[in-house]
Amino acid sequence: MQHIATFYDRIVAIIASRLAEGVALLLARIALAGIFWRSGRSKVTEGRLFEISDSTRYLFENDYAAVPLPAEIAAPLATLGEHLFPVLLVIGLATRLSAAALLAMTLVIQI
């Protein structure tokens, strides 16, 4: 019985360690960043780095008409944000700002 209690204590210590917490947070950041990165890549022309596609322009002119910015400004800003903020999120720079910006972008598009 003593061995089981010792083993349990070791497992709890490993799970509660800062390394395990850091790995879990990194995996969460990578998972969320991947979603927004792929969304950003869907807004650009295939084979180009940041050339906004015609379908994206159409979406911002018609479907996302509630966005308070003109489509000529909103489409490039959203595309840039969906490329920049996931990278910042993964490397751990300005994570709260990046997460807040991605959340705000999601809320504006969904409303």
Region 35-51: mean pLDDT is 88
Task: Measure the CA–CA gap between 85 and 87, rounded to whole angstroms.
Answer: 5
The reported pTM is 0.73
Task: Measure the CA–CA gap between 63 and 57, rounded to whole angstroms.
Answer: 10
Is residue 12's pLDDT more than 90? no
Q: Residue 63: give the domain boundaries.
A: 25-110
Average pLDDT across the chain, whole number:
86
pLDDT of residue 2: 79
Count of domains forming the chain: 1
**Inside any domain, residue 14:** no
**Inside any domain, residue 6:** no
Task: Measure the CA–CA gap between 28 and 38, rounded to whole angstroms.
Answer: 16
**Inside any domain, residue 7:** no
User: Which of residues 64 and 6 earns the better pLDDT score?
Assistant: 6
**Inside any domain, residue 1:** no
Over the stretch 17-39, which tens digit does the pLDDT of each residue have?
788 888 888 999 999 899 989 98
